[in-house]
């Protein structure tokens, strides 16, 4: 059962003061809430990434919640913002996939081309971020496989993917 | 169905990384904007010199109405931007929207009072018009910088609106401040050349600011 507004506000207020136990409990509730919130609005395979992105956003922007106001409207605003960001990314990758349907399945050349076009954007990323995005988002490795291959912890792989995609997304936006 | 898709290690990492934070206070933002407005007026006094006629009774009623409206639009828009830094589903910015719309009354009044001929003269034969326009916009950069810093600290989720209202607030406060140095107090001058910086900065803010405050 997901916690009510009053409990969430109480936990968030404690979290802003640095209470880690409360924060951990809060994040678990937030995770459950987000999974329900997004369940029918993103592809099941992409749910993890999106929930994780929102959790990172909640963490980074926790000072922007006003303790005198409700918690869920704040969380929902952040969740919507990230969701829209996510849709942009999904839209672009869907376009790439459509193109691939016309080509021979698993065409080596197509894969190389896709990588080439992303390579140009990767110039703007730190190597660690570019490396894990390439492994996970292009080659399709799991987080743990990418973690084993790069020596980065699983959390770091996720954080680096998140940060890298954010930068890439900003670059794409700028081009528009 | 149990939903535990995100590995708890991420939650543990975030919890371990937790440090106390001071919630962003609206009052701090208001103080920041007020300080930038005061700094802008001081800058105008240092660079151009405020018009002494304001206190010696030489200024017209239009002078006080136009500059008063610019000040109010600046305050309402700045407040909207300050609130945008703390996102919330249900946030609205009606005050800023209506007060900005109200500003269009000024060029409309100029048109009604001067007619098309007088308006054309005010537009093309005002030797000080372009100077006031550019100065108003330039002095607005102080407020724009303060609001952008505030938005970067916060979590704006309506980036285009945040950019536009930042531009409106900056243009209005800049034009208000420079207006205190301008002794031309006719509706033909003030209603056009002192309102135009707001439109320019709104447009500039709409396109220039979102990339600066995206997160």
Helix B159-179, helix B129-153: angle, nearest 10: 140
Report yes or no: A33 and A75 within 8 Å, Cβ to Cβ.
yes
Report yes or no: A33 and A26 within 8 Å, Cβ to Cβ.
no
Cα–Cα distance measured from residue A52 to residue B4, given in angstroms and rounded to the nearest whole number: 12
Angle CA A38–A95–A106, to nearest 5: 105
pLDDT bracket for residue A32 (50, 70, 90): very high
Share of chain B above pLDDT 70, in %: 97
Domains identified in chain A and CATH numbers = 5-80 (1.10.1740.10), 103-175 (1.10.10.10)
> Does B1 contact chain A (CB < 8 Å)?
no
> Does B87 contact chain A (CB < 8 Å)?
yes
Nearest to A30 by CA among A56, A10, A2: A2
Cα–Cα distance measured from residue A92 to residue A108, given in angstroms and rounded to the nearest whole number: 20
Cα–Cα distance measured from residue A87 to residue A93, given in angstroms and rounded to the nearest whole number: 10
CB nearest B214 (choices: A24, A63, A170):
A170
DSSP one-letter string for B127-184 = TTHHHHHHHHHHHHHHHHHHHHHHHHHS--S-HHHHHHHHHHHHHHHHHHHHHTT---
Cα–Cα distance measured from residue A35 to residue B142, given in angstroms and rounded to the nearest whole number: 43
DSSP one-letter string for B177-203 = HHHTT-----HHHHHHHTTHHHHHHHH
Residue B20 buriedness (CB in 10 A; 0-12 / 13-18 / 19+): exposed
CA distance A75 to chain B (A): 8
Cα–Cα distance measured from residue A162 to residue A137, given in angstroms and rounded to the nearest whole number: 11
Q: What pLDDT shows up at residue A120?
A: 56
Q: Which of A9-18, A28-37, B19-28, B202-211 has the lowest mean pLDDT?
A: A28-37
Residue A66 buriedness (CB in 10 A; 0-12 / 13-18 / 19+): middle
Through-space distance between the first and last CA atoms of chain A, rounded to whole angstroms: 43
CA distance A114 to chain B (A): 26
- Taking CB atoms and an 8 Å cutoff, what residues of chain A touch B211? 170, 173-174
Residue B134 buriedness (CB in 10 A; 0-12 / 13-18 / 19+): middle
Q: What pLDDT shows up at residue A87?
A: 66
Provide the CB-side half-sphere exposure for A95 (13 A, CA): 6
- Taking CB atoms and an 8 Å cutoff, what residues of chain B touch A36? 3
Report yes or no: A43 and A34 within 8 Å, Cβ to Cβ.
no
Q: Do B3 and A80 touch (CB under 8 A)?
A: no
User: Tell me: the pLDDT tens digits for B83-126?
Assistant: 999 988 778 888 999 999 999 999 999 999 999 998 899 888 88
Q: What pLDDT shows up at residue B101?
A: 93
Residue B61 buriedness (CB in 10 A; 0-12 / 13-18 / 19+): exposed
Q: What pLDDT shows up at residue B106?
A: 95
Cα–Cα distance measured from residue B141 to residue B145, given in angstroms and rounded to the nearest whole number: 6
What's the whole-number mean pLDDT along residues A142-155?
Answer: 90
* Displacement of CA A71 from its chain's centroid (Å): 21
CB nearest A73 (choices: B13, B18, B90):
B90
Q: Testing the interface with A: which of B7, B12, B13, B14 to mutate, by most A Cβ within 10 A?
A: B14
Chain B nearest-CA residue for A46: B5
CA distance A140 to chain B (A): 18
Which residues contact residue B14 at a Cβ distance below 8 angstroms, ignoring those fewer than 6 apart? A23, A27, A55, A56, A59
CA distance A44 to chain B (A): 10
CA distance A62 to chain B (A): 8
Q: Do B214 and A18 touch (CB under 8 A)?
A: no
Q: Do B6 and A57 touch (CB under 8 A)?
A: no
Q: Do A81 and B6 touch (CB under 8 A)?
A: no
Q: Testing the interface with B: which of A1, A8, A27, A160 to mutate, by most B Cβ within 10 A?
A: A27
Q: Is pLDDT at A116 greater than 50 in this prediction?
A: no
């Amino acid at each position: 059962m997901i916690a009510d507004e009053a409990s969430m506000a109480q936990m968030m207020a404690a979290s802003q003061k640095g209470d880690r136990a409360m924060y951990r409990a809060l994040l678990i509730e937030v995770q459950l809430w987000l999974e329900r919130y997004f369940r029918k609005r993103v592809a099941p395979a992409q749910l993890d990434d999106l929930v994780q992105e929102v959790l990172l956003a909640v963490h980074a922007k926790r000072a922007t919640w006003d303790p005198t106001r409700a918690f869920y409207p704040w969380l929902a605003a952040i969740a919507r913002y990230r969701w829209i960001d996510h849709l942009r990314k999904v839209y672009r990758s869907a376009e790439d996939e459509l193109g691939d349907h016309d080509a021979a399945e698993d065409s080596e050349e197509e894969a190389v081309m896709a990588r080439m076009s992303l390579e140009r954007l990767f110039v703007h990323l730190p190597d660690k971020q570019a490396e894990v995005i390439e492994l996970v988002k292009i080659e399709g490795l799991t987080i743990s496989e990418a973690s084993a291959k790069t020596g980065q912890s699983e959390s770091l792989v996720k954080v680096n993917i998140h940060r890298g995609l954010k930068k890439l997304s900003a670059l794409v936006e700028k081009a528009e | 169905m149990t939903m535990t898709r995100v590995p708890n290690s991420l939650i543990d990492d975030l919890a371990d990384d937790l440090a106390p934070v001071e919630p962003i206070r609206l009052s701090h933002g208001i103080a920041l904007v007020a300080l930038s407005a005061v700094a802008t007026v001081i800058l105008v006094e240092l660079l151009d010199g405020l018009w002494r006629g304001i206190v010696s009774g030489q200024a017209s009623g239009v002078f006080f109405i136009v500059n008063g409206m610019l000040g109010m639009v600046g305050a309402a828009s700045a407040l909207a931007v300050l609130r945008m830094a703390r996102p919330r589903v249900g946030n609205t910015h009606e005050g800023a929207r209506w007060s900005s719309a109200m500003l269009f009354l000024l060029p409309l009044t100029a048109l009604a009072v001067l007619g098309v001929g007088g308006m054309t003269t005010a537009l093309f034969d005002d030797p000080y018009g372009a100077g006031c326009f550019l100065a108003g916009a330039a002095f607005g950069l102080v407020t724009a910088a303060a609001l952008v810093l505030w938005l970067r600290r916060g979590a704006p989720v309506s980036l285009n609106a945040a950019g536009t209202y930042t531009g409106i607030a900056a243009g209005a406060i800049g034009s208000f401040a420079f207006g205190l140095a301008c002794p031309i107090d006719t509706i033909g001058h003030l209603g056009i050349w002192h309102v135009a910086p707001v439109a320019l900065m709104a447009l500039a803010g709409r396109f220039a600011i979102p990339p600066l405050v995206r997160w």
